[in-house]
Amino acid sequence: MAEIGKDIEKAARILSSGQLVAIPTETVYGLAGNALDEQAVLRIFKTKKRPEFDPLIIHLGDKSQLNEYVREIPEELQRLAERFWPGPLTLLVSKKPVISDLITSGLDTVGVRIPRHPLTRKLLQSLDYPLAAPSANPFGYISPTRASHVQDQLGEQIPYILDGGVCEVGLESTIVGMEEGQVIVYRLGGISVSDLEQTVGKVLILPQSSSNPKSPGMLKSHYAPKKPVVLGDLEALIEGYRQKGTVFAVLSFTRTFPDLPESLQLALSPDGDYDEAARNLFSSMRLLDASEADVILAEELPEIHLGKAINDRLRRAAAK
């Protein structure tokens, strides 16, 4: 199993040797490798069993490093970076040749992020290369939001997990780029659409892609438990599955159901706090996936604040 600790220097030594380290960010834990070392990048794909047509994000410690890896950042995206970096924002921008096509799946753009988790920022600032770091989980499964999640899923395949506690945001970063002068949201995430639009005006949200995505995290079926997830009106779903005699679990926004076992239901935020709901989403799905239920019944949230991003993850978890 992987060693779990807070030793930044040890993590840096392992990464510089070409091996992988799980790192904490404010969004989810990432499976990190030297983004300039193709063997390390290939090891990420192999460890996650991730298809090589799904591009990766590179992580930097400071905006001063950008010029080494990207050609230019449009003015609108610069405004977003000024407001939201370090933080859960990934910019999709034109790359320089030093970034391998393996990272970008042959595209001429690369996703770049400056995470704000203090441990990982210190690690990144100690390195002379960026880190490629998709979520530290087997491809398509629920993203990890604490070190123990990584240990459970990948602990036998990596040497070290940098333990930064529970992820503050709990949803992946929002991915934003530009096409023909229009700001595009390629993946909903830890920054709400309304916050983006306060900075750059109206944005266009792209639907997910089923293959050959333009950016990370665009696949239609993703972030999924092993058990089926069914979205809809919870009262109707509960009644229907009760009549079928199916053992089910319930994932709600705020509600609990007194006639259901406590072990088979979770509310993302009893107080209706969208940040808390986002933070609890993946860990709640993981707990219900480990329960005795045969199916997980869930409801969508109102499409405000982070509700859009949470619903995006729920729909992909429920996609066949």
Classify each residue of 50-75 as buried b or exposed e, where b means 16 or more C-beta atoms within 10 Å of its C-beta.
Answer: beeebbbbbbbbeeebbeebbeebbe
Does the annotation place 13 within a ligand binding site? no
3-state secondary structure of 319: coil
Tell me, rounded to whole angstroms, the distance of Cα 2 from its chain centroid: 21
279 among annotated binding-site residues: no
Task: Give me 304's structure tokens.
Answer: 């405000």
- Name every residue whose Cβ is closer than 8 Å to that of residue 244 and which is 6 or more positions away in sequence: none
25 is in an annotated binding site: no
| Contact status, residue 190 vs residue 36, Cβ threshold 8 Å | no
Cα dihedral 174, 136, 295, 171, rounded to 10, equals -20
- Is 222 annotated in some ligand binding site? no
Is residue 121 annotated as involved in ligand binding?
Answer: no
Q: Is 43 annotated as a binding residue?
A: no
Q: Is 263 annotated as a binding residue?
A: no
187 is in an annotated binding site: yes
Is 109 annotated in a binding site? The answer is yes
Burial 214-249 (b: 16+ CB within 10 A, else e): bbbbbbeebbbbebebebeebeebbeebeeeeeebb
- Which residues belong to the annotated binding site? 27, 50, 59, 109, 113, 133, 135, 143, 173, 187, 223
- Which residues belong to the annotated binding site for ATP? 50, 59, 109, 135, 143, 187, 223
- Which residues belong to the annotated binding site for L-threonine? 27, 113, 133, 173
